[in-house]
Structure 1
Amino acid sequence: MRILVIPDLHGRANWQQPVTDFLTAAVPTDRVIFLGDYLDSFTVADQPMLDNFIDVLLLREREPERVILLLGNHCFPYLFYPTFQCSGFRPQLAPALHNLFKTHRPLFQVAWQGGPYLFTHAGVSEMWLEVNRLAIRFLIGNHARPDNLADTLNQLLTSEQGRHLLWQVSGYNGGRDRVDGPLWVRPVHLSRGLLPGLIQVVGHTPQPHIYSDINEATQTGFIVADCHDRSPDEFLTLQLPQ
């Protein structure tokens, strides 16, 4: 299985040709995974940003088996308007975006997992799991384990309490929580609490180029794919074991 990873768009349309080329050559098991944050650009105007988001939704509807849309921290303020707040929020677009997210909510998820790879917007730290282990078990009835983390995170999305766990923001990112959740954690903290046996693929934190820190022997580490502020033509492609 091949995976094409599309990092945070923030209104950018540079994904369209690479995705078209990839899907044209792809087999049914191949996937395109968007890491979230389709909106809240600081440079793209309202209408082009809105049109680009609609193009993403149309792609997902055309390719329901091969395109996966993940949620980022810049998605929650529109999907669950007005509960969450984030920088770059466009109040003038909020009603239209809330309606789009609400209408197409089944198209989105928090995480996707394949083999040793876990795809989320920002990552899952060992500290976040430890702090919230009992709360997660109470909400979904199961322990969170490396082999079921995607299912766990997606189940948390279905309840108000679960969404607040996903959204947790520490003082490092301007919040008041003890730890950062899967929508907010940064590589500096993710690297201090790696989950054994998982290679996490994330966006959220811009890099000059795709950044990889993996122990191949233990299949543990992470890849930060969010480099399009400075390297807009650089896309991550992975070959996952069948």
Structure 2
Amino acid sequence: MKHIVIGDLHGRDSWKQINFSKYDGAVFLGDYVDSFKRSDQMIPNNLRAIIALKKLYPQKIILLLGNHDVQYLHYPKYHCPGFRLSMQPALSALFQDNRHLFQIAYQRRNFLFTHAGITNRWFYNFRRSFAYSLLYRTGDTIADTLNRFETQTENSTIYSYSRYRTGHDSDGGPLWADYLETFHDSLNGYHQFVGHNPQDQPKQLCRKGKSITYLDVLHKQAYFHEIHC
């Protein structure tokens, strides 16, 4: 299946140039909101348009959550830089009213999409957690379990962030993992596609049996990544 992957938008509407009829799937990597350049009107209007696209193509369009989105969805938790108090009521309502349209992860075979990426260290500790033992179902993919966490528990494990992002957790989770974490310890056996860590151009790191592709480039160029998975 042919997919197109859209990096962190932060209010940008460059995604509108994509002809979605050419693809079997489209994955938005999250961070739809928070911008130092776009107005309080432009950002929610762009998010409404993305939500409308999802409703038009509910099976084709995948909307992942980013750390900037979660701070509004779960306000007042998980604060991060760029937060706009003036927009909080409108954005929180948008995310909460449409929560069922968003997810933490998307997966096809060993192709795994999250906002920031998954490391071996974080995933090892995640699997050892009590909440994981309660929510995991036999046959789950990694994405299945992460998405169940988002909808069925307030457990903060998936929102953890480490000292690399001024946090206090031992490891960054799939919404907050820093480039230095995923660069050195990306999850074995998977090909990951992530945003979150700004790059001047798309960057792929390949190691034996795994890879990670960084796609937070829209602040530099209107690039959308095509893959067959």
Instruction: Give the TM-score taking structure 1 as reference length.
Output: 0.89
Matched, 1:196 2:182: no
CA distance in 1, matches of 2:6, 2:105: 14
Matches within 5 A, 1:143-222: 148-162=141-155, 164-215=156-207, 218=209, 220-222=210-212
Question: Alpha-carbon deviations, 1:13-50, whole Å to 9, x = none?
Answer: 111012xx2x2333xxx101000000001111110111
Matched, 1:140 2:132: no
Measured on the aligned residues, the alpha-carbon RMSD in Å equals: 1.7
Percent identity, aligned pairs only? 37
Quote the offset at 1:196 in angstroms: 2.1
CA distance in 1, matches of 2:58, 2:65: 16
The letter for the 2-side match of 1:140 is L
Per the alignment, in what secondary structure is the counterpart of residue 157 of structure 1?
Answer: helix
- Does the 8 Å CA contact 2:136/2:145 hold for their aligned counterparts? no
CA distance in 2, matches of 1:169, 1:159: 21
Matches within 5 A, 1:1-242: 1-18=1-18, 21=19, 23-26=20-23, 30-135=24-129, 136-141=131-136, 148-162=141-155, 164-215=156-207, 218=209, 220-231=210-221, 233-240=222-229
Per the alignment, in what secondary structure is the counterpart of residue 41 of structure 2?
Answer: helix
Structure 1 stretches lacking a partner, 5+ long: none
Structure 2 stretches lacking a partner, 5+ long: none
CA distance in 1, matches of 2:179, 2:80: 19
CA distance in 2, matches of 1:179, 1:150: 19
Quote the offset at 1:137 in angstroms: 2.9
- Does the 8 Å CA contact 2:30/2:69 hold for their aligned counterparts? yes
Per the alignment, in what secondary structure is the counterpart of residue 127 of structure 1?
Answer: helix
Per the alignment, in what secondary structure is the counterpart of residue 51 of structure 1?
Answer: helix
Quote the offset at 1:89 in angstroms: 0.7
Quote the offset at 1:195 in angstroms: 2.0
- Does the 8 Å CA contact 2:158/2:175 hold for their aligned counterparts? yes
Per the alignment, in what secondary structure is the counterpart of residue 5 of structure 1?
Answer: strand
Instruction: Give the TM-score taking structure 2 as reference length.
Output: 0.94
